[in-house]
Amino acid sequence: MPDFPAATPRARVRVPLRFQDGYGVDAEMVTFHGLVDGREHLAIVLGDPAPGAAPLVRMHSECLTGDVFGSARCDCGPQLREAVERIADQGGVLLYLRQEGRGIGLYNKLDAYALQDQGLDTYEANTALGLPEDARDYTAAAQMLGALGVGELDLLSNNPDKAQQLRDLGIAVRHRVPTGVFTTAHNVRYLRAKVLTTQHTLPLADLTAG
């Protein structure tokens, strides 16, 4: 079994979530003691799984530009909005992970954007900065799931690496459920790079450069 310490819930609080398109749902937000990376990750518990059903879980990495400011350079904001409703309908957990820019941080992400404006794709830009293509580690996510009593789940993600990391950490990923496809004129190259470089399950034929 994976060797990492257990985390414990720190606080639970009910929060009514309201989105700009009018959708709303009540959620339980859970904080934790003992997360291995020391970051303030958050679990958002939504709905109730049907008897015998696995909870639907999304591990959503923080994206200030997309989640808060509605940046069209990525698909993070629409994925977050979609995930909340789908998880609330099925019952499960959204893990909001403080791993901005695939783990490289906000300033480095914006530096990478500048390099993308010069023609590099999202992964090439990280490499040009001397940074990993994807620096994310999901050990804290596995700790959070363990603290919530979730040992088996359906994972809402297009990213095969997320599912594999969770399995390696002892979490049973029953199914990987793809998200919607949220294209804009500004993020098509970004989405194509995800398919070609890290085998995200997105329909490549629909992601023409335009």
Of 58, 73, 86, 136, which one is the catalytic site residue?
A: 136
Per-residue pLDDT of the chain (210 residues; tens, 9 = 90+): 577 899 999 999 999 999 999 999 999 999 999 999 999 999 999 999 888 899 999 999 999 999 999 999 998 999 999 999 999 999 999 999 999 998 999 999 999 999 999 999 888 999 999 999 889 999 999 999 999 999 999 999 988 889 999 999 999 999 999 988 777 778 677 667 767 666 666 665 555 544
Residue 174 annotated in active site: no
Residue 3 annotated in active site: no
pTM of this structure: 0.90
**Mind listing the domains of the chain with CATH numbers?**
8-99+136-206 (3.40.50.10990)
Of 75, 111, 134, 154, which one is the catalytic site residue?
A: 134
SS (H, E, C) the chain: CCCCCCCEEEEEEEEEEECCCCCEEEEEEEEEECCCCCCCCEEEEECCCCCCCCCEEEEEECCHHHHHCCCCCCCHHHHHHHHHHHHHHHCEEEEEECCCCCCCCHHHHHHHHHHHCCCCCHHHHHHHCCCCCCCCCCHHHHHHHHHCCCCEEEEECCCHHHHHHHHHCCCEEEEEECCCCCCCCCCHHHHHHHHHHHCCCCCHHHCCCC
